Amino acid sequence: MFNINKIIIFIFISLIYLNPTQNMQSSDQSYITGDDGVIRMPVNILGHVKYPGTYLVYDRIDILSLFSTAGGYLKGSDLKNIKIIHKDGKKTNVNVQKIIKNGFDQDGVYSIKPHDTIIIEQKVMSRLFTSSSLPAIILGILNIALTLERTSDSN
């Protein structure tokens, strides 16, 4: 009985000292320094881009470079209403179309911070014609109307 208690105490102490979570880095870190010495921060890019996901990007990245990192925005993206949701919950709307047209100015510089989420939505009309059967429904109704018109003319 005495030996079993010693074994249990030994295992318990070993688990405390060899706990693998002690050496793990927190995934909530704001900045990460790579082996190359470059400081990066995690940013989420969601919505109508080629490769949505979480990216490690350099500090002070501009929003157009951020889109490029995600493979670019897709045709039909609503560039007038890009949303940036900051880690603290604050939301910022950005008109990227204006930035593309006029270039960056002091009002057009938007600070991307660690753990920000950038959302690029798809325009409503683009969504209707690409992700629904609305065109097929319209063409079906048009076909029925033309068929009814032809059959009523032949009577």
Find, among 148, 84, 82, the residue nearest to 112 by Cα.
84
Q: What is the mean pLDDT of residues 24-40?
A: 72
Has residue 21 got a pLDDT over 90?
no
Helices 124-131 and 134-154, interaxial angle, to 10°? 70
Q: The whole model's pTM is what?
A: 0.62
Superfamily of domain 38-132: Outer membrane lipoprotein wza domain like (3.10.560.10)
Over residues 97-137, the pLDDT tens digits come to 888 888 765 554 567 899 999 999 988 877 666 666 666 77
Is residue 123 within 8 A of residue 76, CB to CB? The reply is yes
What is the DSSP code string of 59-92? TT--HHHHHHHTT-BPTTB-TT-EEEE-TTS-EE
Which residues, in sequence order, are bridge partners of residue 39?
Answer: 33
Has residue 54 got a pLDDT over 80?
yes
Domain boundaries, the chain: 38-132
